[in-house]
Amino acid sequence: MLIGILAVQGGVREHQRTLDELNIEHRAVRRVEHLEGLNGLILPGGESTTMSKLLELGGLLEPLRSALAQGLPAYGTCAGMILLASQVLNTRPDAHWLGAIDMDVRRNAFGRQVDSFEADLDFAGVEGTVPAVFIRAPWVERVGDDVAVLSRVPSGEHAGAIVGVQQGNVMATSFHPEVSGDTRVHAYFASLVEQAGYTHP
């Protein structure tokens, strides 16, 4: 199994470290040719509008859209969730997204950096609760009929907010499991990659 990690901007190393712990081979993806041979792709956290502009400038935006449409499994965290959405709320007019999951996502929905928080979440497909770190995180305001909700905020001011979703072999979370030291969400994604049996040409 070879999983790419989009490396144009954002928190790449934490995902690399998590995949290393799972003994999964990975590759940094910065150019179109880096998509070749991938079985799956992780889109990390970062600054979503900057990432989208860098994808456009680097010629990766449309090839990535095409790869996802062809069936490349993907997992987006935080900004990666925003990039995978079909509609993004509270963003700049020049931002781009990939339309891989039928959902509306609101940027910075939980507030600014000072509003970052941690919570233990139920997560469909993972036994026990998952430690979740939210940093200037988005949430999902609408999901399509084919989108499964994997996780919601359990309690507090934002109880019920959707923070984990899956459509086919593409998934996304508002939070950052890669910074918690818990590898189970990434292992769940790896199981989707394995089941998909896809290799990008």
Supply the pLDDT for residue 115: 53
In this structure, which topology does domain 3-196 adopt according to CATH?
Answer: Rossmann fold (3.40.50)
Q: Is 21 a catalytic residue?
A: no
Confidence of residue 65 (pLDDT cuts 50, 70, 90): very high
Average the pLDDT over 84-96 and give the result.
86
Supply the pLDDT for residue 147: 98
* Residue 46 in marked binding region: yes
Average the pLDDT over 57-84 and give the result.
96
Q: Report the alpha-carbon distance of residue 132 to residue 99 in Å, rounded.
A: 25
Q: Report the alpha-carbon distance of residue 109 to residue 127 in Å, rounded.
A: 27
Supply the pLDDT for residue 193: 98
Task: Give percent of the chain above pLDDT 70.
Answer: 97
Catalytic residue (choose from 78, 96, 186, 200): 78
Q: Report the alpha-carbon distance of residue 188 to residue 83 in Å, rounded.
A: 20
Q: List all residues 6 or more positions away from 96 whose beta carbon is below 8 Å from its beta carbon.
A: 52, 53, 55, 56, 61
Q: Which of 70-79, 80-89, 105-114 has the lowest mean pLDDT?
A: 105-114
Supply the pLDDT for residue 111: 63
Q: Report the alpha-carbon distance of residue 142 to residue 113 in Å, rounded.
A: 24
Virtual CA dihedral for 46, 1, 186, 5, nearest 10 degrees? Answer: 0
* Residue 142 in marked binding region: no
26 backbone dihedrals φ, ψ, rounded to 5°: -140, 165
* Residue 135 in marked binding region: yes
* Residue 48 in marked binding region: yes
The pLDDT of residue 15 is above 70: yes
Q: Is 176 a catalytic residue?
A: yes
Confidence of residue 112 (pLDDT cuts 50, 70, 90): low
Q: Is 200 a catalytic residue?
A: no
Supply the pLDDT for residue 21: 97
Give the residue, 183 or 111, on which the prediction is more confident: 183
Catalytic residue (choose from 14, 178, 186, 200): 178
Q: Which of 9-23, 62-76, 84-98, 136-150 has the lowest mean pLDDT?
A: 84-98
Tokens, residue 46: 């970062």
The pLDDT of residue 28 is above 70: yes
Confidence of residue 114 (pLDDT cuts 50, 70, 90): very low
